[in-house]
């Protein structure tokens, strides 16, 4: 055991002594910090400014009211989800935001707006907000109306906009201490509604489909009102007809149940799959490169004069395994701290995912599959390094092995998320090379206890066999001269006395 520990410490010191390792381990924290800063400080403005030139004086108020209603409905939906997420429904039980589906009903949206909208809701919830619960942050309005600039002119019907109007639409305007892109100008001619008369929307070419959709719907609704009136239908009757809605209710699972909790529970296990692939390939490449270099410069012969091949193999696995787990701790820890410290989508996903990991068997299974998966992949890299005379030889072995692992793993991950009971997922769960990946991807969806225990037993047996067989290959390839051939390698795997 002393020899194994000496080799392990040597491998650790050798890796930690390289600048490349520290650049690699710092890459994720730096990338997260830069992306977090960029997303908060450098994110493009999502709101746009628009103007309405309504020569009839009949339609502008209707369009403005519709955009305000859509904004309040969106805010009420987000606020209701926030209240449910942090269990604040009982704070103001009769408020619109106490029900998750209230945003579907116009009367509730109007009541929410009359109560003061998000600002009033935040003030009402503040006394009940416990420590650690973030304050609700209202979204900015997607569309801010501004007066049409006096120095601009709109073209007559059939004419193209002049260069000055085009330049204005390509620039930004000041709206309440914010610089917003000038997104669109709606022109409604005085004869709108007559045959051949049309409203025109001049845009900056960006995607303002939501604004255009609202304008079309409201202008169409106004024309429909006129058509009803022309047919002698009373305005109240026309309004009642237009307000008809199909009686549809949305039935959702209660909090903590259904597909949403499955997705929530799957976040951490699937993240571990990616970490397993990254760290195993990273540290496996270090193992492979180290063994090849030691063979090429004859250093391995001096090492084998002092220790046994098995001790050398086990020491490399232990040492670089420790390095791999160091990488995991730094990367995963940085990601978790960043997600939990900075409010946003990542935090909203990660917090409930960590809270959902309340089953000791689930936690143990994740750690077990991760460790055994790491050993399986690391042994493959170590064996490739042992039978390779140079890095060029190693690449000829490594490429098919990587493809053999990566392609099915990517397939099984997608399949496990979309349908954990698919046949391909279940089959790959019992193929030892893919068992850790398939089972990690499935753990969040709910796997039978007997299947978890069965695959664990399978992995223990497979790891034991792999260590023995690849250990023979490693030992024999180091102690025998000459270029390894497929025939010789098969012989080494068969013989328990290989290389002795």
10-residue mean pLDDT series, the chain (500 residues) = 76 75 76 61 70 92 94 93 85 90 89 93 91 85 91 85 88 86 90 86 80 89 81 75 58 44 58 75 74 66 65 74 78 68 54 60 82 83 75 76 77 65 78 84 76 91 84 68 62 56
Give the residue among 343, 339, 368, 491 at the shortest CA–CA distance from 439.
368
What do you get for the CA distance between the two ends of the chain, in Å?
Answer: 20
Q: For residues 178 and 253, what is the distance between their CA atoms, to the nearest angstrom?
A: 41
Instruction: Give Cβ neighbours of residue 68 (< 8 Å, ≥ 6 apart).
Output: 113
Q: What is the pLDDT of residue 90?
A: 87
Q: Residue ranges of the domains in the chain?
A: 2-36+257-494, 48-242
Q: For residues 348 and 125, what is the distance between their CA atoms, to the nearest angstrom?
A: 19
Any idea what DSSP says for residue 446? -
CB crowding 294-324: b at 16 or more within 10 Å, else e? bbeeeebeebbeeeebebbbbbbbbbbbbbb
Q: What is the pLDDT of residue 247?
A: 57
249-257, long-range: CB < 8 A, 24+ apart:
249/101, 250/101, 250/104, 252/100, 255/84
Contact yes or no for 377/275 (Cβ under 8 A): no
Q: For residues 415 and 291, what is the distance between their CA atoms, to the nearest angstrom?
A: 37
Residue with tokens 């987000």: 78
Q: What is the pLDDT of residue 483?
A: 61
Contact yes or no for 1/315 (Cβ under 8 A): no
Bridge partners of 49?
144, 182
Q: What is the pLDDT of residue 236?
A: 73
Q: What is the pLDDT of residue 230?
A: 79
Bridge partners of 201?
186
Bridge partners of 181?
172
pTM of the model: 0.56
Instruction: Give Cβ neighbours of residue 157 (< 8 Å, ≥ 6 apart).
Output: 189, 198
Q: What is the pLDDT of residue 315?
A: 76
Q: What is the pLDDT of residue 254?
A: 45
Q: For residues 362 and 380, what is the distance between their CA atoms, to the nearest angstrom?
A: 27
Per DSSP (E only), the strands in 315-386 are: none
């Amino acid at each position: 055991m002393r020899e194994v520990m000496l080799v392990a410490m040597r491998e650790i010191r050798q890796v930690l002594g390289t600048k490349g390792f520290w650049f690699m381990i710092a890459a994720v924290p730096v990338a997260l910090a830069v992306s977090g800063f960029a997303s908060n400080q450098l994110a493009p403005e999502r709101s746009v400014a628009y103007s309405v030139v309504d020569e009839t004086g009949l339609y502008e108020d209707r369009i403005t009211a519709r955009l305000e209603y859509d904004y309040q409905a969106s805010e009420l939906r987000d606020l209701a989800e926030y209240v449910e997420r942090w269990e604040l429904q009982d704070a103001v039980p009769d408020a619109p935001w106490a029900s998750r589906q209230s945003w579907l009903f116009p009367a509730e949206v109007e009541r929410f707006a009359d109560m003061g909208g998000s600002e009033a809701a935040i003030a009402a919830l503040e006394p009940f907000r416990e420590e650690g619960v973030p304050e609700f942050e209202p979204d900015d309005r997607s569309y801010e109306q501004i007066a049409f600039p006096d120095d601009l002119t709109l073209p007559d019907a059939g004419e193209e906009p002049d260069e000055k109007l085009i330049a204005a639409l390509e620039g930004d305007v000041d709206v309440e201490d914010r610089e917003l892109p000038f997104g669109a100008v709606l022109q409604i001619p005085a004869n709108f509604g007559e045959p051949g008369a049309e409203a025109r929307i001049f845009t900056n070419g960006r995607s303002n489909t939501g604004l255009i959709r609202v304008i079309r719907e409201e202008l169409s609704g106004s024309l429909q009102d006129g058509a009803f009136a022309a047919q002698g239908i009373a305005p109240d009757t026309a309004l009642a007809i237009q307000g008809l809605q199909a009686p549809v209710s949305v039935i959702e699972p209660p909090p903590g149940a259904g597909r949403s909790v499955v997705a929530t529970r799957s976040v951490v296990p699937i993240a571990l799959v990616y970490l397993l692939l990254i760290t195993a390939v990273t540290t496996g490449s270090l193992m492979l490169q180290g063994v090849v270099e030691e063979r090429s410069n004859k250093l391995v012969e001096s090492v084998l004069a002092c220790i046994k091949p098995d001790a050398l193999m086990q020491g490399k696995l232990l040492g670089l395994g420790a390095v791999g787990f160091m990488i995991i701790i730094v990367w995963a820890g940085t990601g978790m701290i960043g997600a939990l410290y900075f409010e946003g989508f990542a935090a909203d996903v990660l917090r409930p995912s960590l809270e959902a990991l309340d089953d000791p068997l689930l936690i143990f299974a994740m750690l077990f599959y991760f460790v055994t998966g790491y050993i399986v992949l690391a042994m493959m890299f170590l064996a490739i390094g042992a039978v390779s005379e140079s890095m060029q030889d190693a690449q000829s072995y490594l490429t098919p092995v990587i493809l053999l692992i990566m392609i099915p793993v990517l397939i099984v991950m997608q399949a496990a998320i979309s349908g954990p009971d698919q046949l391909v997922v279940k089959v790959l769960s019992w193929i030892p090379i893919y068992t850790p990946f398939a089972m990690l991807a499935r753990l969040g969806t709910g796997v039978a206890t007997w299947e978890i225990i069965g695959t664990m037993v399978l992995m223990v047996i497979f790891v034991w066999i792999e260590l023995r067989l690849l250990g023979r290959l490693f030992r024999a390839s180091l102690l025998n001269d000459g270029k390894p051939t497929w025939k010789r390698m098969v012989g080494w795997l068969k013989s328990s006395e290989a290389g002795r």
